[in-house]
Amino acid sequence: MHGVSSIFRACAELCAAWRKSWRIAVCSLAGYGAIFVVSSEALGAVPPSGSGGAENRGPTIWGIHRNVVIGSLVVGVIQTGLIAGLLASNSRRKRLVREQEERLRFERVLTEISADLVEASAETLDQAIGNALEKVRVMMEFQSCMLFEHVRDTQALRILYHTDPAVREAIAKRKAELQMPWICAQFEHRKAIPLVNAVNDLPADAREEQEYVRTKNIKSALIIPLHSMDGTTHGVSFCTASDYREWSEPVIAQLHALGDVLSSAVSRHRAEMELRLSEERFSKAFHASPSAMVIFRAKDETILDVNEGWERQFGYTYAEAAGRLPEELGLYRSEKERLKLARLVDAVGALRNHEVTLRTRTEREVTAILSIETIRIHDEACYIAIFHDITDQRRVEEMRQSMVHVSRLALVGELTASIAHEINQPLGAILSNAEAAEMLMESENPPLDDIRQILADIRKDDLRASQVIRHIRTLVRRAPVRLAPVQVNEVVGDVLKLLSTDAQRRGIILRSELATDAPAVPADRVHVQQVLINLVVNAMDAMKSNGSHERVVLVRTWREDRPGVAVSVRDHGHGIPEDRLPQIFESFFTTKMEGMGLGLAMARSIIEAHRGSIAARNLVDGGAMFTFTLPAESANGTANPGRSS
C-alpha cells in the first residue's frame, strides 16, 4: 500500500506542476497508471513467507520499486520531448504572428503612401515621394532608400529620390548619376538583385558597384528593377550598414509593390507635366500665330476659341465668336459652300491647303488657304482650323496674269505681218483653186477627177487657215491656266512654223535640234508657246545689225538629268552687255528702243510658276543663249503654275 500511495502522490504533484499543459498531464497519468499496474503485479507475484523453505527471502526494495523507476524514466523522456515540441511550436507561432503583424503594418504604410501620392499635386509630389521613402527606411531599419531610373542607351543610373540629404542636394543640381554597368545589364532580366553580403555577392566584373558598396559601407542591399508606364526603366534600392539582412521572398514582394507605386507616381507626374507643358506651348503658339486660327467642336461646329489673328482677319472678338456657329457670324458665302467644306472634313478628318473664300464682319471677301486638323480637348473631338490669307497674293496673281496676257497681245501685234501671210497663203490658194474649178465646170465634158482634186486642195487650205486662226485666238484669249502633259518638241515645231514667214522676211534661218527622248511635262501649252515665241523673236531682233554674219537661230531640246526637259534658244547677234545681264529678267527693263521690258519678265514668271528655271549668258564665239527648264514633276507631284516669283 505504501507503493500505491507513493504513485498517486507523484501523479498529483505532476498534474499540479504541468497543469498548464493538459496533454502532458494526461500522458503522465497514463504512464503512472501503467507503472501502478506493473507494480501491483510485481507485488502480487511475491510468494508468502514460509511457503518456499529457508532459501526464500522477502522482496527487496529494488525489486519492489524497479518498475516504478523505469516507468518514471520513460515518462520523463516523454515529457521532455513534449515540452521541447511545445516550445518549438510556440516559437514558430510567435514568429508567424510577428511576420503577420509586420506584413499588416507594411500594407497599412503602403496604403497611406498610395493615398498621399494620389492626393499630391505636381508641386508637392516630390515631397510626398521623399516622405514615403523615409517612412519605409525608418520602419524597415534601412540605412538608405533610393528611387532611380536607367539612363537610356547608357550604363548610368540617374537618382530621382534619395533619403540622404547630401544626395538630394546633388539631385537638385542634376549631378546625381552613378555608373553601374553590371546592374544596368542585369536590368534586362527584370529580376530583383538581393545581396546579403554586398561585397562578396557582387561578381568580380562589377567593379564600379563594388567600389560604391565599399565607399558607402553597405553590408546588404536589394535592387529591384521596375517597368514604368512611359517605357522608362525605373528601380528602387534598399541598403543596410549595421547588419547583414536576409531578403526573404515576402519582403522582396512588399518592396517591389512599394517600388511600383512610386514608379507609377513618377510616370504619372511626368505625363501630367508634359501635358501641361504641351498645352502651354500650344496655347502660346495658338495665340501668337500670325495666321488666323479657330478651334471648334466637331459634332456641331460650335466655336470654342479664336486667336488674335482670327479676330483681326474676320473682325469678331473672342467674346462675340465663342459659343456661336460660323454661319451665325455669316462667314460662309452660301450654305452650299459650308456643306461642301463639312463633307470634305468629315470624309478624312482633316484638310490640307484647301482654298476657300469667306466673308468678314464687314462682308469683305477673304481668300485663304485652309488647313484643318482633329484634336481632342477634355476627351471631346474638336477641329483646329488655320487660315492663311492669300487675298493679296491672288490679286497680284490676277495682275500678273493680266500682264502676261498684255504681253502676249503685244507679241501677237509684232507678228501681224507673219500672221497675215500665214492666212493669206491658204486664202489665195483657195481662190485660185475655185477659179480653176469654175473654168473646168464650164467645159462640155468637165474632168471630174481634176475637180475632185481641186476640192480636196481647197479643203486642205481651208483647214490650214483655220488652224492658224485658231492658234492666234488661243494666244490672244485670256483663259485660266490648264495643266496637261505637253511634248515640248511639238511646241517648238508649232512656234517655228508660226514664225517661219517672219524669219524669211528678215533673212534669218530657223533651225532645231530636238531630243528624241524628251519626256512629256505637265505645263500650260499656251504659256510655253508664249515663252518660246518671245525668246525666238528676241533672238531674231538681236541679229538686225549683224550684216553678213551667220543669221541663224538655233532651238535645242534635251533631257535633263533630273526628270524634265531643257530648251535653249541661241542667236548670233551682238550679245548682252555684261553689266546688264543681272537685270535682263526684271520688269520694265529692256535693251530695245521700242521695247516695253515685259517679255523676259513674263517669261521668267511663267517658267518659275512651272517650277522651272530660266537663265541667259553670252557665248564666246558671239551671240547669246537663253535656256529654260521644265521639270517632269513639281514638288507635290504636278507643276503648279499658280505660284509666281
CATH number of 104-274: 3.30.450.40
Residue 35 vs residues 41, 71, 127, 349, 577: alpha-carbon distances, Å: 10, 6, 74, 100, 144
Q: What pLDDT score was predicted for residue 410?
A: 60
Q: What pLDDT score was predicted for residue 18?
A: 45
- Comparing CA positions, the residue from 581, 578, 487, 569 lying closest to residue 525 is 487
SS3 content of the chain, % helix, strand, coil (to 5): 55, 20, 30
Q: What pLDDT score was predicted for residue 610?
A: 84
Domain residue extents for the chain: 104-274, 288-391, 395-476, 484-631
Q: What pLDDT score was predicted for residue 470?
A: 66
Class of domain 484-631: alpha beta
Query: Which residue stretches of the chain have pLDDT < 70?
Result: 1-65, 67, 95, 229-230, 396-425, 464, 467-481, 546-549, 587-598, 634-645
Q: What pLDDT score was predicted for residue 498?
A: 79
Q: What pLDDT score was predicted for residue 25?
A: 45
Q: How far apart are CA 635 and CA 355, in angstroms?
A: 19
Q: How far apart are CA 521 and CA 487, in angstroms?
A: 7
CATH number of 288-391: 3.30.450.20
Q: What pLDDT score was predicted for residue 88?
A: 73
Rounded to 10 degrees, the C-alpha dihedral 574/576/578/581 comes to -170
How does DSSP assign 286-330, residue by residue? HHH-SSEEEEEETTT--EEEE-HHHHHHH---HHHHTTS-GGGGT
Q: What pLDDT score was predicted for residue 408?
A: 59
The CA-CA-CA angle for residues 608, 611, 617, to 5°, reads 50
Tens of pLDDT, residues 294-324: 999 888 889 999 999 999 989 999 999 999 9
Query: CATH number for the 395-476 domain, one of 1.10.287, 1.10.20, 1.20.120, 3.40.30?
Result: 1.10.287
How does DSSP assign 101-123, residue by residue? HHHHHHHHHHHHHHHHHHH--TT
Q: What pLDDT score was predicted for residue 415?
A: 57
Tens of pLDDT, residues 204-231: 999 999 999 999 999 999 999 987 766 7
Domain 104-274 matches domain 288-391 at the CATH topology level? yes
- Please state whether the predicted TM-score (pTM) of the whole model is above 0.85: no
